[in-house]
Amino acid sequence: NFSRVTEFILLGLSDRRELQVLLFTFFLLAYVMVLLGNFLIILAVRTDPRLSSPMYLLLCNLSFLDICCTSVISPRMLLDLLRQRKRILFADCIAQMFFLHLAGASEMFLLTAMAYDRYAAICQPLHYTTIMSRKVCWALVSACWAGGFLHSLTHVLLTVQLPFCGPSTIDNYFCDVPLVVRLACADLSVTQWLMAANGGLISLLCFLVLLTSYIFILLTVRGRFAEGYWKLLSTCGSHMAVVTLFFGPCILIYLRPFSAFPSNRHICMTYTVFSPMMNPLIYTLRNKEVKASMWKLWKRL
């Protein structure tokens, strides 16, 4: 495009040196936990023949997407915490936006597919092998990645055609779409509504589908298997907590116009750092098969 801006300045998480060291230590430990936890899940699923059902295939893909999502943000954030001036080239900023939204949107669609898988397994157990065959499972995974790619490509195409002539300061620790688009020297009335529909509306719809599926599951189990209702309620509650941690900030950030948009650095931490760290805990600690497989793998390693 015809922008005069060739780089952006990221304000980061803090400008206090002592706080930056503390934040570096905390987020480095969080990043290591995300990598170790999700890599262990992937290895456990790939090496144990008993974990070959569609549920574990979807879980394996979720772990891979968590690694991708946090790896787009965390390494650069950690480096920026160690340096005074935090610059990012225009092309690098666009690339960061693309890969973050590719991984994030694909994860949204995958969580929705996992909810459908749980609904089929619990509410339609006799037809589960037909409804969720391996072929159907791979088709769902491919559709999730394709949907994430189209979503991310739309955001990037809407952004790169905007002219940027200054200022070039982003009040965040990464290139977030609303804050970058706000810096454009153009009328954003149409662009921001298109982005809100492409980002916030998709997040809201996926979250509502997830919520509806859990309600159907709980109603079905309460009517048929009263003795396992409270255990399932506890499991669904923990799943919904981590899902809300991921979807809530996305809906809050992207489902409103970008004009007069405040800094959202603290809200962004929930889906860029904390949610990828919580997923391995929530989706494995309540699963006996995965825990047993990971324990065997750990002893073998």
- Counting the structural domains of the chain, the total is 1
Tell me what the mean pLDDT of segment 246-254 comes to. 85
Q: In what order do the strands lie in the sheet with 169-170?
A: 87-89, 7-10, 169-170
Model confidence pLDDT, tens digit, residues 133-186: 888 889 999 999 999 999 999 999 988 888 888 778 888 888 888 888 888 887
Query: Is 143 part of a structural domain of the chain?
Result: yes
Query: Is 3 part of a structural domain of the chain?
Result: no
Q: Which of 39-43, 107-111, 172-176 has the highest mean pLDDT?
A: 107-111
pTM of the model: 0.88
Query: Is 226 part of a structural domain of the chain?
Result: yes
Query: Is 223 part of a structural domain of the chain?
Result: yes
What values do phi and psi take at 88, rounded to 5?
A: -140, 130
Query: Is 4 part of a structural domain of the chain?
Result: no
**Higher pLDDT among residues 67 and 178, named by residue:** 67
Q: Which two tokens stand for residue 179?
A: 């804050």
Enclosing domain of residue 238: 10-299
Mean of pLDDT over the chain: 83
Residue with tokens 């003795």: 227
Query: Is 1 part of a structural domain of the chain?
Result: no
pLDDT value of residue 134? 85
Give the CA angle between residues 71, 74, 75 to the nearest 5°.
85
Query: Is 127 part of a structural domain of the chain?
Result: yes
Query: Is 207 part of a structural domain of the chain?
Result: yes
User: What does each C-alpha distance from 293 to 50, 57, 280 come to in angstroms?
Assistant: 9, 14, 14
CB atoms within 10 A of CB 181: 22
Report the CATH number at residue 292: 1.20.1070.10
Tell me what the mean pLDDT of segment 194-220 comes to. 86
226, pLDDT greater than 60? no
